[in-house]
Amino acid sequence: MAGPARFVVQLHDATTLHFDLRLEVDGVLRSWAVPKGLSLDPRDRRLAVPVPDHELAHGDFEGVLPDAPRGSGAVIVWDHGLFRPLGDGPVAAALDAGHAAVRLDGIKLAGGWALTRVATGADPRWIVVKMRDEHADPGRDIVAERPESVVSGRTIAELATRRGP
Ligand code: MN
């Protein structure tokens, strides 16, 4: 069984404000842009658009990215910690097959989430759904409740040094 690997959720003020979910897999950060962020409610199906792998070091990045076409380019580390694949086999194979369940052990997020590919081709899409476990909590909106960085305590607005149009 594979040991724990890192996960990070960054909040990124780019063309649109979105979260980036990143999982350490085989030495890179497999990444999805999640517009609404992860939910604690197992009834919520959150869109997750796959984006290119990032280097592991990017998972520690908090600051303002240069050359943002819109938005401030600000990034905060919204949550981070370790994750383990749930189920058999390596998470890389599960992701390649289009369905992976992972258990997150972060500061804000804990418990199982399922990632499922729902569209391939030119407009690939996944959904990410909270699994029904002891950490599911439909009554809480963790995104609204905890907007701040787990590293610095700052919000993305406090971090941004300039504003896009
Ligand atoms: Mn992003």
Find the 60 Cα to ligand 1 centroid distance in Å: 14
pLDDT at position 163:
46
Dist CA 2 CA 90 (whole Å): 7
pLDDT at position 2:
57
Q: Predicted confidence band at 164 (pLDDT cuts at 50, 70, 90)?
A: very low
Q: Which residues surround ligand 1, an ion (CB under 5 A)?
A: 12, 20
Q: Mean pLDDT over all residues of the chain?
A: 93
Structure tokens at 14: 């780019």
Q: What does the pLDDT average to over 84-93?
A: 91
Lowest mean pLDDT among 21-25, 64-68, 125-129: 64-68
Find the 146 Cα to ligand 1 centroid distance in Å: 19
pLDDT at position 160:
80
Q: Write 149-153 long-range contacts (CB < 8 A, 24+).
A: 149/62, 149/76, 149/77, 149/78, 150/77, 150/78, 150/79, 150/80, 150/106, 150/107, 150/108, 151/62, 151/76, 151/77, 151/80, 152/62, 152/76, 152/77
**Closest by Cα among 13, 20, 7, 3 to 157:** 13
Find the 43 Cα to ligand 1 centroid distance in Å: 25
Q: Where are the alpha helices (DSSP H) in 117-162?
A: 142-145, 156-159
Find the 164 Cα to ligand 1 centroid distance in Å: 15
Find the 1 Cα to ligand 1 centroid distance in Å: 31
